[in-house]
Amino acid sequence: MHEKGLIHRDIKEENIFLHTPPGSGRVYIKIADFGLVKVQKRINESTLVSVAGTYPYLSPEFILGNEDEDAVIANSKIDVWSEGPIKGRL
């Protein structure tokens, strides 16, 4: 997803699914709900995005960096940050 320049912006338990094809013995992680996805113009560069997502999973730059503005500068790291609250709840 990030290699394709997509920032999901709403990674949370409800949007993560586990899939095990019969007989494969493997577990695949699937991410759903791409309604808030932001496409980066240049991969691995920050881009201007509107604040969106589910509060407990928002990165600090979304929460703290939006006191007076409607948008913040962000990159794919905001999705990676969401892993923390998810792992903490497991």
Q: Give the domain CATH number at 28.
A: 1.10.510.10
Q: Which of 10, 33, 68, 79 is catalytic?
A: 10
Q: Which residues have CB under 8 Å from 19's CB, separation 6+?
A: 27, 28, 29, 30
Q: Does residue 69 carry a pLDDT above 70?
A: no
Residues spanned by the domain of 6:
2-89
DSSP per position, 12-70: -GGGEEEE--TTT---EEEE---TT-EE-SSTTS-EEEE--S-GGG--HHHHHTTSS-S
Q: Does residue 14 carry a pLDDT above 90?
A: yes
Q: Does residue 23 carry a pLDDT above 80?
A: yes
Q: Any catalytic annotation for residue 10?
A: yes
Residue 68 confidence (pLDDT): 58
Q: Does residue 83 carry a pLDDT above 80?
A: yes
Residue 27 confidence (pLDDT): 96
- Residue 7, helix vs strand vs coil: strand
Model-wide pTM > 0.85:
no
pLDDT confidence bin for 70, thresholds 50/70/90: low
Work out how many domains the chain is built from and give that number: 1
